[in-house]
Amino acid sequence: MKTDIHPKYEAAEFRCACGNVILTRSTRKSVLLGLCNACHPFYTGQQKFVDTAGRVDKFQQRAAKTLAAQTAVADAAAAKKKKK
């Protein structure tokens, strides 16, 4: 086995967005997590609805615009077909 080619395996701190801190070992000193076992719905048994920065509202607005555009195109095609 070659010497001095492996990364250092040191104590590491994994921090979750909920504030939970997990101490373990890794090649990185600190890692930021979005979910951990203390806040993930699978482990807690509680379903949470998380709407980050209004993403659901933005999606619903885009869907409404798309539907409106599709109906406008369909109406224009029907009107054009009716003229003939």
**Residue 61 included in any domain:** yes
- Whether the pLDDT of residue 84 is over 80: the answer is no
Provide long-range contacts, Cβ within 8 A and 24+ apart, for 7-12: none
What average pLDDT does the segment 3-16 reach?
Answer: 90
Task: Tell me if 26 sits within 8 A of 9, measured CB to CB.
Answer: yes
Place of tokens 């709407």: 51
Q: Is residue 29 part of a domain?
A: yes
The set of residues, in sequence order, having a beta carbon less than 8 Å from that of 73 and lying 6+ positions away, is: none
Query: pLDDT per residue over 31-52, tens digit each?
Result: 888 888 888 777 777 776 666 6
Q: Is residue 23 part of a domain?
A: yes
Higher pLDDT, residue 83 or 2: 2
Mean pLDDT value across residues 46-60:
75
**Would you give the distance in Å from CA 3 to the centre of its chain?**
41
pLDDT at position 12: 93
Is the residue at 4 inside a domain?
no
**Average pLDDT of the residues in 20-39:** 88
Residue 2 belongs to a domain: no
Asked, for residue 55, whether it belongs to a domain, the answer is yes
Domain count, the chain: 1
Are 45 and 63 a contacting pair, CB within 8 Å? no
Domain CATH code at residue 57: 4.10.80.400
Domain of 58, in residue numbers? 10-77
